[in-house]
């Protein structure tokens, strides 16, 4: 097995830079929404680092997963959108984009709350392996991993990020 080394803190800095550039070029300030749980951690830190005063949102994929009967209700958090999504420009942030199924579920959840004017997707890592036609507007890093491995963002007590790579039987 080969070793994968991803510096989550360096990738976060690149995400911050990319988001800052996007905010400088867009007319109307977008609302940040994190996908539970890694995306929420990213949004919380981005909000602080960018000095944004608006409340950020949380999107959970739990109720719209196509594998709900196998996974059950995840403990990753509940959807919380403390603003009207109708007509809003949203940036959805997630840690890792893989098959696209979580994003499909998150978008279904989002549209249960209204109809945004636009939705952009920014992720730390795109690991390929798409099963649905979903693409990030900004992916800081791209890696290829076998289907037997998962990549997850981990947040330490001091707020610093790292990645955890796990091997699963085929």
Q: Regarding the domain delimited by 8-22+29-66+77-167, which CATH topology (the fold level of the hierarchy) does it fall under?
A: Rossmann fold (3.40.50)
Is 2 strand, coil or helix?
coil
Query: Locate tokens 């909000």: which residue?
Result: 47
pLDDT per position as a tens digit, 36-58: 989 999 999 999 999 988 899 99
Residue 57 tokens read as 């949102």
Give the pairing of strands 57-59 and 31-35: parallel
Q: What is the pLDDT of residue 69?
A: 47
Using CA atoms, how far apart are residues 106 and 112, in angstroms rounded to an integer?
A: 10
CA distances from 8 to 95, 99, 110 (A): 10, 21, 27
Reported as a single tens digit per residue, the pLDDT across 62-83 is: 888 665 445 454 555 799 999 9
Q: What is the pLDDT of residue 122?
A: 98
pLDDT-based confidence at 24, cuts 50/70/90? confident
**How is the chain split into domains, by residue range?**
8-22+29-66+77-167
Q: Which residues, in sequence order, are CB contacts of 57 under 8 Å at separation 6+?
A: 31, 32, 33, 34, 43, 79, 80, 81, 82, 83, 90
């Amino acid at each position: 097995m080969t070793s994968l080394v991803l510096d989550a803190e360096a990738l976060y800095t690149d995400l911050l830079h990319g988001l800052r550039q996007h905010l400088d070029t867009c007319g109307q300030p977008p609302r940040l929404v994190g996908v539970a749980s890694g995306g929420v951690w990213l949004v919380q830190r981005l909000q602080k680092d960018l000095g944004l005063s608006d409340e950020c949102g949380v999107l959970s994929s739990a109720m719209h997963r196509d594998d709900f009967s196998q996974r059950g209700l995840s403990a990753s958090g509940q959807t919380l959108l403390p603003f009207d999504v109708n007509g809003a420009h949203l940036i959805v942030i997630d840690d890792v984009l893989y098959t696209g199924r979580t994003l499909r579920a998150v978008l279904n959840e989002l549209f249960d709350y209204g109809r945004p004017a636009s939705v952009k997707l920014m992720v730390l890592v795109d690991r390929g392996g798409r099963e649905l036609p979903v693409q990030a507007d900004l992916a800081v890093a791209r890696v290829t991993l076998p289907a037997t491995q998962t990549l997850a963002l981990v947040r330490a007590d001091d707020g610093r990020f790292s990645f955890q790579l796990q091997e699963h039987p085929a």
